[in-house]
């Protein structure tokens, strides 16, 4: 567990993660209540990867695509997804290509359709600030978590 005192701490942690990510396909699920900092974390990650524009949550479009350093990055927000099978119509399997980075907010909305993530990031409110927990689901994510905690 890592304590994040404020928004800047969230952005800084995301930037630390960004430099550790592989250039191969990698999927991150972000869980947390509304306002817990999921989109802020994604913004920090995207900025650290070279994105200079605004980062908005794709609540209505479901997915935003970024081309960063020869790599496809997909930011999903599944909060408004009514049925996980809607992802099949979206062609969800096409987004998990050989070098794509997938960042998925509200992954529980896609349960049964989404593949298991490499890394789960859980953000939870504290009295002040946030608590973040990293749960690895792949060998690569385990290595990343070790480096983050050292």
Q: Read out DSSP for 31-72?
A: E-STTSSHHHHHHHHHHHTT--S-----TTTSEEEEEETTEE
Q: How far is CA 85 from CA 24, 92, 111, in A?
A: 26, 10, 9
Instruction: Look up residue 82 and give its two tokens.
Output: 């009514």
> pLDDT tens across 64-123, in order?
999 998 899 999 999 989 899 999 988 888 888 778 999 999 999 999 999 999 999 999
Full-model pTM:
0.93
Torsion of Cα atoms, 33 then 129 then 104 then 101, to 10°: 180
Instruction: Look up residue 144 and give its two tokens.
Output: 């990343």
- Residue reference for tokens 């191969």: 24
Identify which of 90, 100, 91 has the alpha carbon closest to the alpha carbon of residue 68: 100
- Taken in order of first residue, the domains within the chain and their CATH numbers are 24-119 (3.40.50.300)
- pLDDT score recorded for residue 54: 86
> pLDDT tens across 115-135, in order?
999 999 999 988 888 999 999
Q: At residue 59, does pLDDT exceed 80?
A: no
């Amino acid at each position: 567990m890592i304590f994040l005192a404020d928004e800047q701490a969230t952005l800084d942690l995301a930037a630390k993660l960004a430099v550790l990510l592989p250039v191969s396909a990698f999927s991150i699920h972000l869980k947390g209540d509304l306002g817990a900092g999921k989109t802020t974390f994604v913004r920090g990650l995207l900025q650290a990867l070279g994105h200079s524009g605004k980062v908005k949550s794709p609540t209505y479009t479901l997915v935003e695509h970024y081309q960063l350093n020869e790599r496809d990055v997909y930011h999903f927000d599944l909060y408004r997804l009514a049925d996980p099978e809607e992802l099949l119509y979206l062609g969800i399997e096409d987004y998990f290509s050989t070098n794509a980075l997938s960042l998925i907010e509200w992954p529980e909305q896609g349960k049964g359709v989404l593949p298991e993530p490499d890394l789960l990031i859980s953000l939870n409110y504290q009295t002040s600030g946030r608590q973040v927990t990293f749960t690895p689901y792949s060998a690569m994510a385990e290595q990343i978590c070790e480096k983050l905690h050292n």
